[in-house]
Homo-oligomer: A and B are copies of this chain.
């Protein structure tokens, strides 16, 4: 159960919700069953009913306790969590902020968050920026209004000082009201962070690809301001340098962080002409788009062109040729982020490093 304190109702199977009339002095309205109703039916006070139902410490006599629980079940009572939150000053909801929930990267993270939230008895509200990072701050403000217990920022940080400052202020305000914060991706905010080793693993990937005999590369780099994308490009460049390979500015082309982004930049590259044996797309979804574009141009994969991605998206593991990529444990990352915010705040921000793993598959054949 998501929250053990919430009576599931219907234990007795008596569908008594509409038109119930309690005790001698029935309630006037037909609105939701309230704790008052339960208390009256059980013949106890409001306070006792509250303690019996919620009671962290069991300081209520057993028979009364049972009567209250029975009454709650009979009336199909469900505690008003909003009122509970107002009275207690804090709620049980965690806000999850993503750029696009249809993107498998985010939906995998979300799955992990949901699983962990369930275990912790927390409720998750979802917000999507529609890939407009400038909306993040507004959502954090909204979550502060909801008195959310925590917020998880799953989207990549953005290279924009103005935005970052506005977001930081909003986060500070959120935290000032007792909210917890976790960031997934980069360690650029003074908050608990699940750091994905984009740069280091992209570097390993480059070395591995060079080891396969590739010497000339093109990079589909994603949006310029997205730090996740930038880190991957940087790491990749470094890895190539390790192998004595130089990546010219013309070899790096920018575009959207989506399938269509990969498709279009690949098309542009093909139209312009380029000299490489291997294309690195900074995420799998783009890589798949690039593969489609290459095929349309009659380029045979992997013989005539190698392609590598990043993330190891589960749904994409069956594309052909199988995609060389970096495995990122997205679901675990989501779960880890939720665990962080479920814990009380530490003195210093916690940092959880998550390594990636290079996975060489058929899309990058050995050459030379």
Q: Which residues of A contact B (CB under 8 A)?
A: 1-3, 6-10, 13, 15, 17-18, 30-32, 76, 78-83, 85-86, 89, 91, 93, 96, 100-104, 106-108, 110-111, 114-115, 118, 123-128, 130, 137-139, 141-142, 144-147, 166, 169-170, 172-173, 176-177, 259, 285, 288-289, 291-292, 295, 313-316, 318-320, 331
Residues of B within 8 Å of A13, CB to CB, are 169
Q: Is the CB of A259 within 8 A of B315?
A: yes
Closest 5 CB pairs of A and B: A107-B107, A102-B111, A78-B145, A32-B177, A17-B173
Q: A1-B138, A142-B3, A146-B81 are in contact. Are A108 and B102 (CB under 8 A)?
A: yes
Q: Is the CB of A78 within 8 A of B285?
A: no
Counted per complex, copies of this chain come to 2
Q: A2-B142, A142-B2 are in contact. Are A9 and B80 (CB under 8 A)?
A: no
Residues of B within 8 Å of A8, CB to CB, are 137-138, 141
- Distance in angstroms from A30 CB to nearest chain B CB is 8
Q: A107-B107, A177-B32, A318-B292 are in contact. Are A144 and B102 (CB under 8 A)?
A: no
Instruction: Write the chain B residue with the least CB distance to A128.
Output: B114
Residues of B within 8 Å of A138, CB to CB, are 1-2, 8
Residues of B within 8 Å of A76, CB to CB, are 173
Q: How far is the CA of A107 from the CA of B166 in the complex (A)?
A: 29
Q: Is the CB of B125 within 8 A of A93?
A: yes
Q: Is the CB of B80 within 8 A of A145?
A: yes
5 extra interchain contacts, Cβ-Cβ under 8 A, other than A9-B173, A315-B315, A319-B319? A7-B141, A9-B170, A15-B173, A82-B83, A114-B128
- Distance in angstroms from A220 CB to nearest chain B CB is 15
Residues of B within 8 Å of A289, CB to CB, are 318
- From A6, A82, A289, name the one whose CB has the most chain B CB atoms within 10 angstroms: A82
Q: How far is the CA of A114 from the CA of B172 in the complex (A)?
A: 26
Q: How far is the CA of A1 from the CA of B130 in the complex (A)?
A: 12
List 26 contacting pairs A-B, 8 Å CB cutoff, sorted by A. A2-B138, A8-B138, A10-B141, A10-B173, A15-B169, A15-B173, A18-B176, A32-B177, A76-B173, A78-B173, A80-B86, A82-B91, A93-B125, A104-B315, A106-B107, A118-B128, A118-B130, A123-B146, A124-B125, A259-B315, A288-B318, A291-B318, A292-B318, A295-B320, A315-B316, A319-B320
